[in-house]
Structure formats: structure tokens, C-alpha cells
Amino acid sequence: MYKIFGYECRRLFCNRFFAGFVLALLFYGWQVLNRVTILGVSHTAPFSPWSFGDYLSRMLPLLWAGALFFLTFFTSAAERRRAALTQAAPVKPSVYGLVRCCAALTGTALLSLAAAVLAAVFYGSLFRWQDWGSLVLPGLLTLVPPLVFALGSGWLLGRLRAWLIFPWMLLPVLLAALPLPEALGLWNGSLFAKRPLELGILDPAFSLPGEAIAAQGILLLAGAALLAAGLLGKRK
């Protein structure tokens, strides 16, 4: 199983697409940090959880697209033609699907980590600031639920029709242009801009309304359920 995982990871990471995507991600992230985040969000410090969350919400469309691109390695027409060979291997299809899911999750985590490390380098080099622990909660709440949902929903769409993954990559871009309710404000970052002003104090401690936390929890559970459904579907 570990050999299969290593093989799938090499397929995802040892190619020009992954290298090019990481470079594009880092370039875009550096532009956001230098042109938007450096000013701070709603009178908060550039390195506050609010400004960091806003930065990650701006990175989310690229991270979402990267997560879905990983799935195209497993849902393409060429990959389906190879399915006859993989099914003949002495490994249960459900286990093989689980390994691929773990490889896609690993790739998505690496992209997210690259975005976070870029911010850490920016904060450290420019402000000599190193209180990284205060950024963990906004980072997890902003990225984990939507990216798990991206993989779960993308896995399901890719099994239905491989091409459906590509228009699905545009969802965060569309949501960013819509006036979302407060519960969904982490999708487009509007909550990071509005919440500090609503609290009425300068640079307030990080907190989110209960409905926003509940919405992220539902999104995370939905993504996990879709991933599980995809693995069960492989077993049949």
C-alpha cells in the first residue's frame, strides 16, 4: 500500500504541471501580500488573524483549482482505460481508491502549506513577527472545509463525467462576486473585513459568529461524506 501511495504521489508531484502551478501560486500570493495584506484588513495589523484569513480567502480559488486538478489524474479518459490493469492488481479497488484519495489530500495540503509558508516568510522578513500560533485557527477554518469539499465533490463529478471538474473550478470565483450572507463570508473573505468593524474595538481578538463556524462544519462533513461515497462506489 505504501508503494502504491508513493507511486501516486510521484505521478501528482513529479511533473511540470505541479511545479508550474506552485510557481504561479507563490507569485500570486506574493502580489496579494505586497499589495493588499500589507495594508491590513479593517484597521487590523497585516499579520493579524483577520488579515491572514483575508489573504487565504484570496488564495482559495487557486487552491480549489489545484485540488481539482489533482483529481483529473484519476478521472481522465486515459486513466479509465488503465482501470482494467489496476483492477487486476492484488489490491482491493476500495484500498486503491483510498490511496489515491490520500495522495490528492497530500497534494492539496502541500499547496496550502506553500501559501502559508509564503505568508510566514513575508511576515518574518518585513515585520520580524513570529507569533505563528495565532494564525493556525483562521487558517484551518478558512481552508480545510472548502478544500475537503472540493475533493469530495470533484471526485463525484469526475466519476460521472471527467469534464465536469473543469467548470467546477470556477465556483469560488463566482462566489467571490456574489453578496454572500455572513454564514458564508469565509468563502469570499467578506467576513474578515466586516467582523472586526462590527466588534467595535481596534484590532480585536479573532472570533467568528456561530453560524459561520456551523456552515464550515457542515461543509467539512459534506466533503468527507462525498469522499466516502466515492470510495464506496469504487468498491461495488
Residue 1 neighbours by CB distance under 10 Å: 11
The cell numbers describing 210, all together, are 456561530
The cell numbers describing 93, all together, are 479497488
SS3 assignment for 72-138: HHHHCHHHHHHHHHHHCCCCCHHHHHHHHHHHHHHHHHHHHHHHHHHHHHHHHHHHCCCCHHHHHHH
Quote the CA–CA distance of 104 and 151 in Å, as a whole number.
Answer: 8
Which single residue is written with the C-alpha cell 487565504?
56
Instruction: Look up the domain containing 125 and give its range.
Output: 2-235
pLDDT one digit per residue (tens) for the chain, 236 residues: 677 788 788 888 988 889 999 999 999 999 999 999 999 998 899 999 999 999 999 999 999 999 999 998 887 665 555 555 555 555 666 677 788 889 999 999 999 999 999 999 999 999 988 888 999 999 999 999 999 999 999 999 988 888 999 999 999 999 888 888 888 888 888 899 999 998 878 788 899 999 999 999 999 999 999 988 877 765 44
| pLDDT at residue number 11 | 84
Closest to 123 in 3D by CA, of 31, 23, 45, 203: 45
| pLDDT at residue number 59 | 96
> Which residues, other chains included, contact 146 with Cβ-Cβ below 8 Å and sequence gap of 6+?
60, 64, 172, 186, 187, 219
Listed as own residue / partner, the contacts of 161-168 with beta carbons closer than 8 Å and 24 or more positions apart are 162/72, 162/75, 162/76, 162/77, 162/80, 165/68, 165/71, 165/72, 165/75, 166/68, 168/68
| pLDDT at residue number 2 | 74
Specify the number of domains making up the chain.
Answer: 1
